[in-house]
Structure 1
Amino acid sequence: MEHVEYRTLRDEDIEALGAILGDTWHSYTDGRKRIASGIIDFANFAKRNTFAEVAVVDGSPIGVIMARAGAPNEQTQAHWKAIEQDARKELDELGGSSADLTRFLEAMEQADRDLLEQSGCNPDFELVLFAVSGKARGLGIGSTLMKHVQRYLAAEGASKAFIFTDTDCTWEYYEHRGMRRAAEQPFADDETRILPERMFVYEMDLEGIGR
């Protein structure tokens, strides 16, 4: 692996990061549809970030982590909403269905709200998104990104932070890192189910993290 640069997220990173999320969550489609779907996902997460860092190799992002301490500013929300709308328009023009993806995301957001209330976690400090390209896993890149976001959250005054995850993600990673499962919700295993089989809230302890 070449030298890895860790830097703040830029708009020029969106395509590569949309491809990573598209490969992860939209393998049922291909080409630009997959990337546009990934960009919609990415922008939906990014609307609530107050910290975003990417791992870059040879100019191309191969990993990203986002966090939220408090509420994002209106400029951030408006910026990512516009990017999301552009990606939705592209997906529809390609013959995909942004409406179907909207229904899924809205169902996820409602389930997440219910889980967070059930968990009792502090809602002000969140690990919003954590994704690393499959070709870069196992190289310590994810661990470095996680250290950086933990230091940010701790510096913002957090003693703990939560993350939403589910059985469509590598949720086991959070248990391997010693995070506590704070809430869990199973969903019906039938043809009408659009949400993952199980959804979780994990909580990470930030006590002792260097500011």
Structure 2
Amino acid sequence: MGEIFFRELCSSDIIAVKHMLEEIWEIDKFTAGNSKTANCIISSILYNDLITQNYSEIAVLDGNVVGVLLARIKDSKNTHMIWTLKSLYYSLCLKVFKKNKAGCMEYLRVEQSFKKLLVQNSFDSELIFFMVNDNIRGKGVGKSLLSHYLDKCRSNGVVNLCLVTDTQCNYGYYDKIGFTLECEDAFRLELSSGPTEHKTFLYSYKL
């Protein structure tokens, strides 16, 4: 394995991050295999996260992005105008998309559940987006990304931080590394493949 190095995310990385998200996240359950719907949901997720974050780091191996961490530290936000416009565009697409509209609406229910958990609580920082390529897991990439983020939090006087996740992600990982489950939200998704029980979780971590 070659050397892994870390740097701040830039606009040219976004396509690679979208591909990672497509591969890792079970998007098909919302899209029924429709590629346009998949692109709309994935783009909405990513650009919403990009305009919320003010801290980013990616892990690169052999020229390929293999890990990503986005976070908000304190209250300042990213003001990248192109990302803001794309976030608005894809959020609107989700609401007016005619093909597989039901799948889009069910995804929006998950998004609303995330927001509900966050509104009910207050933290100095939020870990917004954290993803490591399946092929590189166990090599310390995720641990390094998280360690760098926590160091940045400490240097900015962060006392407590949070993250929201759901049953589509490896949420048990956060239990193992010392995060505390604060609350959860359970509901049923009505998908093309049939009804599915779904949960979202709010985790916290004290520094």
Contact 1:125 1:158 in 2 (8 A): yes
Taking a change above 3 Å as real, the CA distance of residues 103 and 179 of structure 1, as seen in their structure-2 partners, is same
- TM-score, normalised relative to structure 2: 0.80
Taking a change above 3 Å as real, the CA distance of residues 50 and 74 of structure 1, as seen in their structure-2 partners, is closer
Which digits, 9 at most, give the CA deviation of each residue in 1:106-162, with x for residues without a partner? 4334322322344xx433310111001111111110000000111111222112100
Q: Which runs of 5+ in 2 are unaligned?
A: none
- TM-score, normalised relative to structure 1: 0.79
Rounded Cα–Cα distance in structure 2 between residues aligned with 1:108 and 1:185: 10
Rounded Cα–Cα distance in structure 1 between residues aligned with 2:122 and 2:201: 15
Q: Which residue of 2 aligns with 1:21?
A: 21
Once the two structures are overlaid, the 10-residue window that deviates more, 131-140 or 191-200, is: 191-200
Q: Which residue of 2 aligns with 1:199?
A: 200
Once the two structures are overlaid, the 10-residue window that deviates more, 7-16 or 30-39, is: 30-39
Which SS does the other structure have where 2:150 is aligned?
A: helix
Rounded Cα–Cα distance in structure 1 between residues aligned with 2:127 and 2:100: 26
**Larger strand fraction of residues:** 2
Which digits, 9 at most, give the CA deviation of each residue in 1:43-102, with x for residues without a partner? 1211100101000112221110011013344623x33223446768999xxx99596676
Rounded Cα–Cα distance in structure 2 between residues aligned with 1:100 and 1:12: 32
Q: Which residue of 2 aligns with 1:7?
A: 7
Rounded Cα–Cα distance in structure 2 between residues aligned with 1:4 and 1:30: 34
Q: Which residue of 2 aligns with 1:51?
A: 55
Q: How many residues align?
A: 200
Rounded Cα–Cα distance in structure 1 between residues aligned with 2:185 and 2:119: 12
Rounded Cα–Cα distance in structure 2 between residues aligned with 1:23 and 1:132: 11
CA RMSD of aligned residues (A): 3.3
Rounded Cα–Cα distance in structure 1 between residues aligned with 2:99 and 2:149: 34
Aligned equivalent of 1:80, options 55, 78, 83 = 83
Taking a change above 3 Å as real, the CA distance of residues 19 and 74 of structure 1, as seen in their structure-2 partners, is closer
Q: Which residue of 2 aligns with 1:209?
A: none
Q: Which residue of 1 aligns with 2:188?
A: 188
The amino acid of 1:11's aligned partner reads S
**Is 2:114 the counterpart of 1:112?**
yes
Q: How far off its partner does 1:24 sit? A: 2.1
Contact 1:165 1:200 in 2 (8 A): yes
Q: How far off its partner does 1:196 sit? A: 6.3
Q: How far off its partner does 1:178 sit? A: 1.3
Q: Which residue of 1 aligns with 2:134?
A: 134
Which SS does the other structure have where 1:197 is aligned?
A: strand
Taking a change above 3 Å as real, the CA distance of residues 37 and 181 of structure 1, as seen in their structure-2 partners, is same
Rounded Cα–Cα distance in structure 1 between residues aligned with 2:105 and 2:191: 16
